[in-house]
Amino acid sequence: MSDTPAVEAEGLIKNYGKTRALNGLDLSVAQGTVYGLLGPNGAGKTTAVRVLATLLRADGGRARVLGHDVAAQPAAVRRTIGLTGQYAALDEYLTGRSNLIMIGQLSRLTGKAARRRADELLEQFDLTEAASRAVKTYSGGMRRRLDLAASLIGHPAVLFLDEPTTGLDPSARALMWDIVRKLVADGTTLLLTTQYLDEADQLASRIAVVNGGKVIAEGTPSDLKASLGGQRLLITLAEESDAATAAEALRPFTTRRVRGSDCGQVLDLPVTAVDGLATEVVRALDAAGVKVSDIAVRSASLDDVFLTLTGHKAEEEAPKDTDKKEVAA
């Protein structure tokens, strides 16, 4: 495997009218890895994927896929990529198999090779039984699987998955995750956008947190979590009025200063885990005269990372039309 990054972007800028969808986005994805673009709706994830997949021209910056410039050599880029968007891009009236054969032939396979690949993929994606039914009879999960199969038919080296599981039920999501893991085992490079932290955590070996059209943090999931001090101490107070006293008493334990006035009845404190931490914490609180009804230590989650970086939760739904705009623009 060569050292050429599968995907690299430098300072991508894209404006839609007065809205700046990409504001200097940088990215570097090594070959054979799964890279997660994590961010809330409207963060610029879809726009980034559309630029990288040659569907949109950036207004500034440059991007390359396996060394081919997306603006100058779009045809070369298209020969190496597969794209699965947020909506199943299929012909509703054709059967699942006909859809795959059509996309295969348009991906420069011969008719014979397209039919062979279609049958292989239908088998792998558990769609053989539905193969001769029109796609409009498919469930949401089946459509997504067929859509993913379609983007794989030409064996792309780099696959873009734009929110592959948004709107799927948990079992369909688990199935998609399985498929994605097998793909990676095959050596395909995957660039995955998601607004689900657990999805990025589960699948991606590196994550870029995107907000406001640029990358605001980048690293492995554990890097990102570690950057927040690793552990969280959750203390539920018996009396909310004790918050300030409690926060002051716990200052020696926390890695970052937390003001009692910012907390309610529950104090959520970043700490460094040591043996006997809980005991010492209880002693310190007792000495300060604070009554505690519950105490717990947990690992920092990507949620914490996200909350710290962007000031809001990842899965907080932005208004639905923002999402639409990102797709429609």
Binding site for another protein (CB under 8 A): 50, 53-56, 75, 78-79, 81, 83, 85-94, 98, 102-103, 105-110, 112-113, 116-117, 120, 124, 134, 150-151, 154-155, 179, 182-183, 185-186, 328-329
Give the residue from 326, 85, 87, 304 showing the smallest Cα distance to 201.
304
Between 14 and 206, whose beta carbon lies closer to another protein? 14
Q: How far is the CB of 92 from another protein (least distance, A)?
A: 7
Between 78 and 206, whose beta carbon lies closer to another protein? 78
CB atoms < 10 A from the CB of 68, how many? 19
DSSP for 281-317, written as a single string: HHHHHHHTT--EEEEEEEE--HHHHHHHHHSS-TTSP
Q: How far is the CB of 215 from another protein (least distance, A)?
A: 22
For residue 17, count CB atoms less than 10 angstroms from its CB and return exposed for 0-12, middle for 13-18, buried for 19 or more. exposed
Q: Sign (positive/negative) of CA torsion 67, 72, 77, 79?
A: negative
DSSP for 149-162, written as a single string: HHHHTT--SEEEEE
Between 89 and 216, whose beta carbon lies closer to another protein? 89
Q: How far is the CB of 308 from another protein (least distance, A)?
A: 34
Q: How far is the CB of 40 from another protein (least distance, A)?
A: 22
Instruction: Report the Cα 308 to chain-centroid distance in Å.
Output: 17
Q: How far is the CB of 214 from another protein (least distance, A)?
A: 21
Between 117 and 232, whose beta carbon lies closer to another protein? 117
Q: How far is the CB of 203 from another protein (least distance, A)?
A: 15
Give the residue from 40, 48, 39 showing the smallest Cα distance to 7.
48
DSSP category for residue 319: P
Between 54 and 194, whose beta carbon lies closer to another protein? 54
Between 138 and 306, whose beta carbon lies closer to another protein? 138
Q: Which of left, alpha, beta for 154 (phi over 0: left; psi -120 to 50: alpha)? A: alpha
Between 113 and 282, whose beta carbon lies closer to another protein? 113
Q: How far is the CB of 264 from another protein (least distance, A)?
A: 44
